Copies of this chain bind each other. A is one copy, B any other.
Amino acid sequence: MFIKNCWYVAGWASEVTADDFIARTIIGVPIVMWRDSAGRPVAFEDRCCHRGAPLSLGRREGDFLRCMYHGLRFDNAGACVEIPGQDRIPDSVRVNTFPIIEQHKWLWIWMGDPARADPALIPDTHWMNDPAWRHLEGYTHYDTNYLLIADNLLDLAHLPYVHPNTLGGPAAYAETQAEIEPLENGVRITRWAMDIEAPPFVQKVKHYDGKVDRWNKYDFVLPGLFLMDSGMAPVGTGAAEGKRVNAAEFHGCQALTPETEHSTHYFFCHPHNFAIDQPEVTASIHQSIVTAFEEDRTMITAQSRSLDLKPDFKMIPIRADRALGLFRALVKKITDEEARESAEGRKEIVAAETL
């Protein structure tokens, strides 16, 4: 069961070109994305309403998409405008469409009630689209449920253990206490590690002679978005007071989008605002993130297998799990609400039909 009434990241805007389709399953629903003649993104259920053929094997014809199984043609609002060999086209012949918005390099899709698809609900990721910041676009795929990855992102105490050679740092990093603040739609986490070694991925591109003060401040919000202000600066330069002297600053943007109950899309980038005229610095940072995410994936995939073998496994909580617990409770609250609404909706429909 997934939350429906929220914006999911459906892809990088660069993936959906002028001419091609891209097929991607999101919360169990196959979606085909394309662009109309004005370049606007369009999202259809990737399943022809006729006999379920995938429209991503179809043909774009200007503002229209033709299913290449039996030739039905649809306009960019999903209405069928042509059935070969048939004059009358009932209104019911239409494919499901989904609100989709391109903003700051990501495509955002709304899988629930279209009437509630308010663009103002899309969180700010403008660092992906700001000339003062640089990044490369990342994507990886997990064969696990998205919540195990969310767990990982909700507790950065794993950095020294899973990522000693990339994002990590000394064990002391894990011993600092993170400040955890519940938000209406997620959790805000702030962690300062003072007077500590800079992590390997930064040392590669911006050498610090001595220790640094390091911060990670992020919101992890529904449905699975990680938006982080992080960085470090030499000890004594006043980073904790907001000064940014000889700092390495990052604005990580990461999005977990469930594919199925057992698999997840993971879109990510790690914009930085120093050495932005040196592509090799951007490439190095990106490669460190990619390597680190493979480290996470090895651990989380093995964890998932381990849990699958024992469905009644009871986790023993530790203090560091607090943010995980808050987020999982929030997900449960919203999915329960949506299930209730949907049940009430069905009852109202039945009642109306009975009148």
CB within 8 Å of B: which residues of A? Answer: 25, 28-30, 46-47, 49-54, 57, 66-72, 83-86, 90, 92-93, 151, 155, 157-158, 160-162, 171, 174-177, 298-299, 302-303, 305-307, 309-310, 313, 315-321
CA–CA, A54 and B321, complex, Å? 18
A70 in complex: contacting residue of B28, B51, B52, B318, CB < 8 Å = B318
> Besides the contacts A67-B161, A71-B160, what 7 more A-B pairs have beta carbons closer than 8 Å?
A28-B309, A30-B306, A66-B161, A69-B162, A71-B174, A84-B320, A92-B316
A52 in complex: contacting residue of B52, B66, B303, CB < 8 Å = B303
Query: Chain B's nearest CB lies how many Å from the CB of A180?
Result: 12
Contact of A176 with B85 in the complex, beta carbons under 8 Å: yes
CA–CA, A310 and B260, complex, Å? 12
Query: Chain B's nearest CB lies how many Å from the CB of A40?
Result: 25
A69 in complex: contacting residue of B52, B69, B93, B161, CB < 8 Å = B161
Contact of A306 with B47 in the complex, beta carbons under 8 Å: yes
How many copies of this chain?
3
Query: Chain B's nearest CB lies how many Å from the CB of A4?
Result: 15
Contact of A299 with B57 in the complex, beta carbons under 8 Å: yes
Asked whether A320 and B54 contact (CB < 8 A) given A157-B85, A309-B25, the answer is no
- Nearest 7 CB-CB pairings of A with B: A84-B174, A54-B302, A68-B161, A86-B319, A52-B307, A53-B303, A71-B161
Point out the residues of chain B lying under 8 angstroms from A177, CB to CB: 85
Q: Which of A57, A85, A298, A321 has the most CB of B within 10 A?
A: A85
Point out the residues of chain B lying under 8 angstroms from A319, CB to CB: 83, 85-86
| Chain B: CB-nearest residue to A317 | B50
22 A-B residue pairs with CB within 8 Å: A47-B307, A47-B313, A49-B316, A50-B316, A50-B317, A52-B306, A52-B313, A53-B306, A54-B299, A57-B298, A67-B161, A69-B158, A69-B161, A69-B299, A71-B158, A71-B160, A71-B174, A72-B318, A84-B157, A85-B157, A85-B175, A85-B320
